[in-house]
């Protein structure tokens, strides 16, 4: 196939040669030989074809937001011309330093070079590189470019980094937060630690009836037995509700709310599982099996982590209320602390409010704050730009969000606001637990 440059040279030579014949002008005939000689000499020069591009070994597993260094070695032999080398990145990798596209000049001497650059992995999951691609061009453009690419592009598994939240310590006494560190389970073997006296309900053991308290309390004809309640053995359960809808992907492919929501879910699971809590999770607005049964230990954490690392958002609509109904049996059995990571917006306010009310009906405690925490990752924290106009816009958005926040605070719900650009989630969780 003729290149554009070769076609132009042949056309130019033909036009001058035919003109010289028609006019009988020997000078024009000699001029016509110039592009012909140029073309013949150019075709005698070869395009660089012996090209070896190798990627240095890289780790298969990296952490989300980790900066990794990519190294590429290039060897070019034979021919004259330009050689371009490009390392095509997955869409969720951000170039931090250096350049993944380089141009090399192959002259008379052979070329041996290398280049490196740094990228940040911004999304968890399994990513496949598009591979290295190189293209060599003829010195005069008279031959077709030679294109080559990497035969086996590498794969990288990006995992959410485990939060360093071990510095949160238990505090003795009554906790004002719905997440006390020494909270005890509703179910389990009773201990000898007295908890409270309450009215008898069907199913209570007869031996637990406090006859003296019953006699003092029941002065009339209607007898209401009172029973002693003791602390149950073991720690309490935690249940995570995560919104997996595509509306959570507010932001860019590099940085969005949903990716940080996944970080929150994994961080909460790791923290409570490490402290021997029983943790379960339900991902609503997600296709397939979205329920992870409550369990303890690091094996449960790896199950949750594996599920979160492969999750993708969907457009399927499922209200939080429906999700709570599907988990009704577990919520009634374990009476867990609930961490809800929703799409926190005015459009979803009513749906979220109904879901929270459903949770309160199942696990709410009289005269106490319901054991529910809403995690809010405001999208305006992830906006780009700077200057006074951005600051004013952020203030207006915060003012618009205040009625939404007050709606849930009036229900006794704890709201944890997290700004990923200013603090780690470990710091935010510490603030929420001790509040």
Mean pLDDT value across residues 96-110:
91
Instruction: Among 184, 216, 232, identify where a domain stops.
Output: 232
Q: Is the pLDDT of residue 83 over 90?
A: yes
Enclosing domain of residue 92: 50-159
CA 75 to CA 87: how far, in whole Å? Answer: 15
Residue 26 lies in a domain: yes
Residue 311 lies in a domain: yes
Which has the higher per-residue pLDDT, 69 or 390?
Answer: 69
For residue 144 the two structure tokens come to 């077709």
Nearest to 168 by CA among 277, 246, 69: 277
Which has the higher per-residue pLDDT, 287 or 51?
Answer: 51
Residues 309/259, Cβ–Cβ less than 8 Å: no
Residue 429 lies in a domain: yes
If asked whether residues 259 and 214 sit together in one domain, one would say no
Q: What is the pLDDT of residue 72?
A: 92
Q: What is the pLDDT of residue 240?
A: 95
Enter the DSSP assignment of 96. E
Lowest mean pLDDT: which of 135-139, 197-201, 292-296, 422-426?
197-201
Please tell me the total count of domains within the chain: 4
If asked whether residues 266 and 392 sit together in one domain, one would say yes
Residue 277 lies in a domain: yes
If asked whether residues 72 and 94 sit together in one domain, one would say yes
Q: What is the pLDDT of residue 193?
A: 57
If asked whether residues 292 and 397 sit together in one domain, one would say yes
Mean pLDDT value across residues 379-392:
68
Residue 185 lies in a domain: no
Q: Is the pLDDT of residue 367 over 60?
A: no
Please give the angle made by the CA atoms of 163, 167 and 170, to the nearest 5 degrees.
120
If asked whether residues 354 and 269 sit together in one domain, one would say yes
Q: In this predicted model, what pLDDT tens digit does every residue of 111-130 receive, in sequence order?
A: 999 999 999 888 888 888 88
Q: In this predicted model, what pLDDT tens digit does every residue of 214-257 receive, in sequence order?
A: 887 776 666 778 888 765 555 678 999 999 888 888 877 778 88
If asked whether residues 210 and 282 sit together in one domain, one would say no
If asked whether residues 31 and 95 sit together in one domain, one would say no
Share of the chain above pLDDT 70, in %: 83
Residues 230/194, Cβ–Cβ less than 8 Å: yes
Q: What is the pLDDT of residue 342?
A: 92
If asked whether residues 224 and 284 sit together in one domain, one would say no
CA 101 to CA 87: how far, in whole Å? Answer: 7
First-to-last alpha carbon distance for the chain, in angstroms, is 74
CA 266 to CA 47: how far, in whole Å? Answer: 53
Q: What is the pLDDT of residue 181?
A: 45
CA 435 to CA 423: how far, in whole Å? Answer: 17
If asked whether residues 121 and 57 sit together in one domain, one would say yes
Residue 260 lies in a domain: yes
Q: Is the pLDDT of residue 327 over 60?
A: yes
Q: What is the pLDDT of residue 102?
A: 93
CATH number for the domain harbouring residue 424: 3.40.50.410
Residue 186 lies in a domain: no
Mean pLDDT value across residues 324-338:
88
If asked whether residues 302 and 430 sit together in one domain, one would say yes
If asked whether residues 74 and 201 sit together in one domain, one would say no
Which has the higher per-residue pLDDT, 384 or 344?
Answer: 344
Mean pLDDT value across residues 277-283:
92
Mean pLDDT value across residues 341-351:
87
Q: What is the pLDDT of residue 186?
A: 52
Nearest to 84 by CA among 106, 112, 55: 106
Q: In this predicted model, what pLDDT tens digit does every residue of 133-190 receive, in sequence order?
A: 999 988 877 778 889 988 888 888 888 877 665 544 443 333 444 454 445 455 554 5
If asked whether residues 130 and 204 sit together in one domain, one would say no
Q: What is the pLDDT of residue 185?
A: 53
Buried b (16+ CB within 10 A) or exposed e, 370-383: bbbbbbbbbebbbb
Residue 355 lies in a domain: yes
Mean pLDDT of the chain: 80
């Amino acid at each position: 196939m003729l290149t554009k440059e070769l076609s132009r040279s042949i056309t130019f030579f033909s036009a001058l040669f035919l003109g010289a014949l028609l006019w009988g002008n020997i000078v024009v005939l000699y001029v016509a030989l110039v592009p012909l000689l140029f073309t013949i000499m150019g075709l005698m020069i070869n395009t660089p074809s012996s090209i070896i591009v190798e990627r240095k070994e890289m780790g298969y597993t990296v952490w989300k937001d980790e900066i990794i260094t990519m190294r590429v070695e290039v060897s070019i032999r034979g021919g004259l011309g330009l050689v371009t080398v490009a390392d095509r990145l997955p869409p969720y990798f951000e170039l931090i330093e250096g350049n993944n596209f380089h141009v090399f000049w192959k002259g008379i001497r052979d070329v041996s070079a290398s280049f490196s650059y740094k990228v940040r992995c911004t999304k968890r999951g399994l990513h496949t590189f598009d591979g290295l691609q190189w293209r060599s061009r003829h010195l005069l453009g008279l031959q077709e470019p030679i294109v080559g690419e990497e035969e086996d592009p590498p794969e990288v598994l990006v995992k959410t980094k485990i939060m360093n939240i071990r510095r949160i310590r238990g505090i003795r006494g009554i906790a004002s937060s719905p997440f006390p560190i020494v909270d005890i389970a509703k179910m389990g073997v009773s201990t000898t630690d007295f908890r409270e006296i309450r009215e008898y309900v069907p199913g209570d053991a007869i031996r637990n009836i406090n006859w003296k308290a019953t006699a003092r309390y029941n002065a009339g004809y209607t007898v209401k037995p009172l029973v002693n309640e003791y602390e149950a053995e073991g720690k309490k359960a935690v249940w995570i509700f995560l919104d997996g809808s595509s509306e959570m992907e507010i932001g860019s492919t590099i940085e969005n709310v949903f990716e940080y929501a996944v970080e929150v879910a994994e961080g909460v699971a790791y923290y409570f599982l490490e402290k021997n809590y029983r943790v379960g999770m339900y991902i609503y607005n997600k296709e397939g099996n979205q329920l992870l049964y409550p369990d303890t230990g690091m094996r449960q954490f790896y199950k949750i982590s594996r599920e979160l690392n492969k999750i993708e958002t969907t457009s399927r609509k499922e209200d939080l209320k429906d999700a709570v109904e599907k988990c009704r049996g577990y919520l009634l059995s374990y009476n867990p602390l609930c961490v809800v990571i929703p799409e926190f917006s005015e459009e979803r306010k009513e749906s979220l409010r109904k879901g929270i009310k459903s949770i309160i009906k199942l696990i709410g405690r009289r005269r106490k704050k319901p054991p529910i925490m809403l995690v809010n990752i405001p999208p305006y924290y992830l906006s780009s730009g700077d200057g006074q106009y951005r600051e004013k816009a952020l203030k207006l958005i915060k003012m618009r969000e205040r009625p939404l926040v007050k709606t849930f605070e009036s229900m006794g719900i704890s709201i944890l606001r997290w700004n990923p650009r200013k603090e780690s989630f470990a710091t935010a969780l510490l603030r929420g637990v001790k509040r």
